[in-house]
Amino acid sequence: MPAKPKSISMKFAELLKGEAAQESALVGQYCFGLAKELWPINRSLTGPGVRQTLDILRRELPGLTLHSVPSGSQVLDWTVPDEWSVREAWIEDADGRRLVDFADNNLHLVGYSEPFEGWVERDVLERHLHSLPEQPLAIPYVTSYYRRDWGFCVSHEHRQTLGQGPFKVNIDSSLEPGQLDYGELVIPGESRKEVLLSTYVCHPSMANNELSGPVVATALGRWLAAQDRLKYTYRLVFAPETIGAIAYLSRKIDHLREHVTAGFLLTCLGDERSYSYVPSRASDTIADRVAQHVLKGIAPDYRKYTWLDRGSDERQFCAPRVDLPMASIMRSKYGEYPEYHTSLDTLGEVVTARGLQGGFDALHNAIHILENDIVTRTTVLGEPQLGKRGLYPTISTKHSVTAEVQTMMDVISYCDGRLSHFDIAEKLGLPFDRVQSICAPLMEAGLLEVVD
């Protein structure tokens, strides 16, 4: 287990006070270090692995509160499952040689495997083995949450070497009433309107899907907590995917429907190969528009998916009658990269500090827009006289109206008290920050005033 990334973390807290944060790779390094610390833990929907994970996140995010829902609780249409714990799990041959061992890789055991001990022949074992012929070196990630069963996952090459048996199988697990755990952090802003950031903590040792999500969420949380002033209140949720989101919604739906203005789902934020966007169900919320603006700026060739390509907790948060305005900003999307849901989705090969930095930056930029967007209007009728304020060239010839001045005048011409600066950026095909930096001196000069 790596040392706690304290030293990076300290620098980070300072860095994150300013804009410098995103320009540096330190945030990516912080995320990478935290992911290494979380890597070996055997997370699942429930059980000690989730609690260990949340404890580490609480160390990084002091205000994080932990919550639990008892097994058997009805949450919306679902029932919280029993808690799953694994002490050991292995397959041995007749000579006592350990052929497969959960201790080597927590993907070896099918998630939610029930306890089993006994000798089985190869044909019986076969029915409990999972491998991927087309990816012979990958251990697949398999779960059986809602049907009692047991099983082992091995690489297809490994599977060929197991011999004919008989095999001694030992799964010392328990499936007993316990609880489902999740963490929540509220960072208050000036408005009671909220931005919701949701990520999940229920996968064992896989890096892009899932560790990149919680570690970038943690970095965002630290950055937000370090701000002197926030317009919106931020709510960060770390819960198991699907059942955790459902349990969370079952407790918070009324509050969320009333307060959430925009939100983002944080997953698959760590590789360097691409940027991706999955829309909300409505597909045209402010979160959707901002996500696309940011990605167009960072990576014009970003992959734009549709609602029909969804696959994570937008299925809950954007379900009919829930309909929170939440979009997904990702690097390479779940299901779309070859290492997805296998032992090949690793820190180092797939997820890098630079990849995580890119994921953080995209979300940082999106939040930056939400925080800073305003509606302004000109205080004067007709074009303002920029010359007398030193904002405009005083001699006019055929060629003197430069592109810069033209863009400034274009922006002013749309400051009509209806379009926001973000709207204007979209309309003019400009980066949001360009519009902001054009308007700042105009506001200072009293030529633009904020509306609302």
Q: How many residues does the chain have?
A: 452
CA 131 to chain centre: 28
Complex with its own copies: residue 294 or 424, whichever CB lies closer: 424
Single-letter amino acid, residue 138: A
Complex with its own copies: residue 1 or 395, whichever CB lies closer: 395
Per-residue DSSP letter, 333: P
DSSP code string of 25-76: SHHHHHHHHHHHHHTTS---SSSHHHHHHHHHHHHHSTT-EEEEEETT-EET
Report angle CA 24, 27, 31 to the nearest 5 degrees. 150
> Minimum distance between the CB of residue 133 and its own copies, rounded to whole angstroms?
11
Cα separation, 197 vs 304, whole angstroms = 20
Complex with its own copies: residue 102 or 141, whichever CB lies closer: 141
426-444 b/e with 16+ CB inside 10 Å = b?
bebebbbeebbebbeebbe
Burial of 201: CB neighbours in 10 Å, binned 0-12, 13-18, 19+: buried
Burial of 419: CB neighbours in 10 Å, binned 0-12, 13-18, 19+: middle
Per-residue DSSP letter, 449: E
Query: CA distances (Å), 204 to each of 209, 318, 452, in order?
Result: 10, 26, 47
Complex with its own copies: residue 132 or 290, whichever CB lies closer: 132
> Minimum distance between the CB of residue 379 and its own copies, rounded to whole angstroms?
8
Cα separation, 361 vs 354, whole angstroms = 10
> Minimum distance between the CB of residue 396 and its own copies, rounded to whole angstroms?
6
The answer to whether the peptide bond before residue 166 is cis (omega within 30 degrees of 0) is yes
Cα separation, 24 vs 327, whole angstroms = 26
List interacting residues with its own copies (CB under 8 A): 76-79, 130, 132, 140-147, 149, 242, 245-246, 249-250, 253, 281, 307-308, 310, 315-316, 318-323, 335, 340-342, 377-378, 380-385, 387-388, 394-398, 406, 409-410, 412-417, 428, 447
Complex with its own copies: residue 168 or 310, whichever CB lies closer: 310
User: Partners of 113 in the beta sheet?
Assistant: none
Do 158 and 135 contact (CB within 8 A), yes or no? no
Cα separation, 244 vs 198, whole angstroms = 11
Cα separation, 344 vs 359, whole angstroms = 20
> Minimum distance between the CB of residue 343 and its own copies, rounded to whole angstroms?
12
Complex with its own copies: residue 76 or 374, whichever CB lies closer: 76
Complex with its own copies: residue 32 or 152, whichever CB lies closer: 152
Report angle CA 154, 241, 266 to the nearest 5 degrees. 105
Cα separation, 19 vs 340, whole angstroms = 33
Question: Which tokens go with 15?
Answer: 């860095």
Complex with its own copies: residue 143 or 208, whichever CB lies closer: 143
Complex with its own copies: residue 97 or 147, whichever CB lies closer: 147
Complex with its own copies: residue 3 or 381, whichever CB lies closer: 381
Complex with its own copies: residue 180 or 215, whichever CB lies closer: 180
Query: CA distances (Å), 52 to each of 43, 142, 165, in order?
Result: 9, 22, 37
Complex with its own copies: residue 162 or 246, whichever CB lies closer: 246
Q: How many other C-beta atoms lie within 10 A of the C-beta of residue 241?
A: 23
Cα–Cα nearest to 377, from 441, 447, 295, 436 = 447
